[in-house]
Amino acid sequence: MKPFGRLHIFILVILAVAGCTPTKTAIQVPTLTAIFPASTIIPTATATFTPLATLEPKQAEEILQSLLVEPEKCSSPCFWGITPQMTIDEAINAFSHLGVQVPKTLDDDKDFYAINYDFDNGLSVGLMLIVHDRVIESLRVVMTPERQKTGALRAWSAYSLETLIAKYGEPSRVNFILDRGPNFSITSIMFYDALGLIIEYSYSTTYDQNDLTKICPLTVQFDSVRIWIGKEPYYPPLKGVSLEKATSITMEEFSKLMLGDPSKACFNLKDEAFP
């Protein structure tokens, strides 16, 4: 099935969830928030939805995978079409159609709904929805990427550095963390403060204390990618060292570098900037 076909199916699914009749205008937008802007969503625990037939596992995986590769046309940052201010009932109904269970646990005045999904290509995704009064307040995503093949498109490319910078522009901040433990690791954290979006990329590497640490974010094999969506992120990342202190490049130079030739999109971290 071609990517367009997979997205078209997902669009129709969302329209059915919303109880709308598909129109030319609505079909162009594959997200619940585009059909129901945040300002018009009325949270209610009594909302009812027409049950949808569950898709075959292979078809459901193709839809979910396509939404990780093709940037979503959400009006604000989202993941799998889910964004803060949607109701949990809308999200559960959409995922149920895809055969994905959304179990709940309770913690004080908030509800936590967790989804874990393993793809055949080795990519795994964990999605947590933090909910209050049946409304999603924030999302937390943990992805373990598949083994990267040379020249192959990342299976989660919709959330890669270059895609996000091309979509949202220059980040508000970029920080770095070095872990000099037995498995030396480097973590890059990109913030879009006004959008309530944080993306963290981590990987392990070798380290030579006599040299500056070189980073090539567009080609390196990441061990994990974590995403926070929402104004009040649940367990956000550590602070880290700012781009300006950790490197010799500016935010503008960093953004341009990430939009250029992937093989040349590299820079060095200053070892002395990290205690």
pTM above 0.85, yes or no: no
Distance (Å, whole) CA 164 – CA 170: 9
Answer for the pair 132, 86: CB distance below 8 angstroms, yes or no: no
Statement: residue 104 has pLDDT above 60: yes
The answer to whether residue 54 scores a pLDDT higher than 90 is: no
pLDDT at 140 over 60: yes
Q: For position 127, what pLDDT does the model report?
A: 96
Q: What is the pLDDT of residues 170-192, one digit of tens each?
A: 999 999 999 887 778 999 999 99
pLDDT for the residue numbered 48 = 57
Task: Please give the residue that has the higher pLDDT: either 146 or 209.
Answer: 146
Give the pLDDT band (50/70/90) at residue 275: confident
pLDDT reported for residue 207: 63
Q: Which 3 state secondary structure label does DSSP give 60?
A: helix
259: which 2 tokens? 């939009």
- The whole-number average pLDDT for the span 4-9 is 36
Whether residue 108 has pLDDT greater than 80: no
Give the CA distances from residue 274 to residues 60, 143, 237, in Å, rounded to whole numbers and listed in that order.
Answer: 44, 26, 17
3-state helix, strand, coil in the chain (%, to 5): 30, 25, 45
**Contact present, 69 and 158 (Cβ < 8 Å):** yes
pLDDT digits (tens, 9 = 90+) for 216-233: 999 999 999 999 999 989
What integer pLDDT is reported at residue 199 of this predicted model? 98
Q: What is the per-residue pLDDT for 86?
A: 94
Q: Which of 249, 83, 267 is nearest to 171 (CA)?
A: 249
Q: With 90 as the cut, is the pLDDT of residue 150 above it?
A: no
> Which residue carries 């300002």 as its tokens?
39
Per the model's pLDDT, the better-predicted residue between 31 and 210 turns out to be: 210
What average pLDDT score do residues 23-46 get?
33
Determine the pLDDT at residue 50: 63
Mean pLDDT of 227-241: 94
**pLDDT higher at 24 or 248:** 248
The mean pLDDT of the chain is 81
pLDDT band at residue 16, thresholds of 50, 70 and 90? very low
Residue 69 has pLDDT above 70, yes or no: yes
- Closest CA relative to residue 82, chosen from 98, 62, 105: 98
